[in-house]
Amino acid sequence: MSTTKKIALTGVFTALAVALSYVEFLVPITFVPVPGFKLGIANLAIMAALFFLGPFEAAAVSALRLVLTLFLFSNVNAFFYSVCGALLSLAVMIIIKKTTFFSEIGTSVSGAVFHNIGQIALASLILKGSGIWYYFPALMLAGTLTGTVNGLILRFASGPLGKIFKTSGVQTGQ
Amino acid sequence: MTGRLSELTGLQIMKNKYLNDIVLIAVLLAVSLVLWFATVTGGNGKTGEKVRITVGDEIIGEYSLGTDASVDVRGMLTVVIENGQVCVTGETCRNHICAKHRPISKAGQTIVCLPNGVIVRITGNGELDAVI
């Protein structure tokens, strides 16, 4: 894949990540009474970047998504939680992918669970108490389930997506 | 022939990958369920004695679980103690997760309002110092 194409696709995945974050912002899942619960669909775009482009591009998508969502519709409080979760999640996903021991699904699940761990670790630092870890089992369970679903989505999408990225040049006027 | 062979072994590795995924997911599910069970029964199922409300690292106050009360926490939310059960109302945060939390009554149980940094925790006999 040429550098130009990589840069362009990084942009596309960043746009996708921001759009997915916005969807999650518009439709918060509040019937699960656990603070910090999210579907984590923005991770789909980051994982797509990780699997199709590489760890550097995935990190770029993740960082740009964080900054863009902060300026567009998030707040500083949520931003720091996101940063903490995203850093840990991305690091773990890159390592898991490197081991080639798991597929997209395993990568997604570990990313989701470590996103939760990162956020809850920051929460326990900010709130200066271990009380928040009370929610950890519920968050971990939720993260495992949403991570599995996201991983399956990516698994089934990666076939057609891979074909598109491989065969298509940039086609104009169509 | 060799191409087909590597294809076959490739398939084998793929299969193993999915098997690994399933093992990973199963382990994570098991661990989280065990931890959940441990935290739910962490207070030994004993009824708590007091309700401790903290904002950040500051303890706002401790209230008896036995006496009905309604505590306003800096205009951010109201903690209602009624019939030995505690719930949160009138919260000013976005997702209202704290208000949707089922009422708590056992030692160790906690309601957190993350945006406001408020922790409502029941303390009492047999409570672990830290539930992890």
- Across A75-84, A131-140, B53-62, the highest mean pLDDT is recorded for A75-84
- Please enumerate residues of B whose Cβ is less than 8 A from a Cβ of A: 13-14, 17-18, 20-21, 24-25, 28-29, 31-33, 35-36, 38-39, 54, 56-57, 94-98, 100-102, 108-110, 112-115, 117, 119, 121, 130-132
The structural domains of chain B, with segments of one domain joined by +, span 1-40, 50-123
Residue A13 lies in a domain: yes
Half-sphere exposure (Cβ direction) of A87: Cα atoms closer than 13 Å: 9
Domain that holds residue A50: 3-165
Which residues of chain A neighbour B20 with C-beta distances below 8 Å?
Answer: 101-103, 106
Q: How many CB atoms lie within 10 A of CB A8?
A: 12
**CA dihedral for A94, A95, A98, A104, sign (positive or negative):** negative
CATH architecture of B50-123: Sandwich (2.60)
> How confident is residue B1, by pLDDT bands cut at 50, 70 and 90?
very low
Amino acid at A148: T
> How confident is residue A171, by pLDDT bands cut at 50, 70 and 90?
very low
> How confident is residue B58, by pLDDT bands cut at 50, 70 and 90?
confident
Q: Could you give the number of structural domains in chain A?
A: 1
Q: Which residue of A has its CA nearest to B30?
A: A141
Does residue A152 sit at the B interface (CB-CB below 8 Å)?
no
Interchain proximity B132–A136, CB inside 8 Å: yes
A139: CATH: 1.10.1760.20
d(CA B122, CA B104): 8
Q: Which residue of A has its CA nearest to B93?
A: A35
Q: Residue B14: its pLDDT value, please? A: 58
What was the ipTM of the complex prediction? 0.86
Q: Residue A2: its pLDDT value, please? A: 84
Interchain proximity A140–B32, CB inside 8 Å: yes
Query: Distances from the Cα of B84 to the Cαs of A64, B87, B88, in angstroms?
Result: 48, 10, 14
d(CA A35, CA B96): 9
Range list of β-strands (E), chain B: 50-55, 58-64, 69-73, 77-82, 85-89, 110-113, 118-123
Interchain proximity A102–B24, CB inside 8 Å: yes
A81: distance to nearest CA of chain B, Å? Answer: 11
Which residues of chain B neighbour A100 with C-beta distances below 8 Å?
Answer: 13, 17
Q: How many CB atoms lie within 10 A of CB A2?
A: 8
Interchain proximity A137–B98, CB inside 8 Å: no
The fraction of chain B above a pLDDT of 70, given in percent, is 77
Which residues of chain A neighbour B98 with C-beta distances below 8 Å?
Answer: 35
Interchain proximity B17–A106, CB inside 8 Å: yes
Q: Residue B46: its pLDDT value, please? A: 63
What do you get for the CA distance between the two ends of chain B, in Å?
Answer: 55
A32-60 residue pLDDT tens: 777 778 899 999 999 999 999 999 999 99
Which residues of chain B neighbour A126 with C-beta distances below 8 Å?
Answer: 56, 117
- Lowest-confidence segment of A19-33, A88-102, A130-144, B45-59 by average pLDDT: B45-59
Q: Which residue has the higher pLDDT, A128 or B35?
A: B35
A95: distance to nearest CA of chain B, Å? Answer: 15
Half-sphere exposure (Cβ direction) of A126: Cα atoms closer than 13 Å: 21
Query: Distances from the Cα of B33 to the Cαs of A36, A123, B53, B67, in angstroms?
Result: 18, 22, 28, 34
Residue A174 lies in a domain: no
A79-122 residue pLDDT tens: 999 999 999 999 999 999 999 899 999 999 999 999 999 998 99
Q: Which residue of B has its CA nearest to A140?
A: B32
> How confident is residue A71, by pLDDT bands cut at 50, 70 and 90?
very high
Residues 6+ apart with CB under 8 A from B56: A126, A127, A128, B117
Residue A173 lies in a domain: no
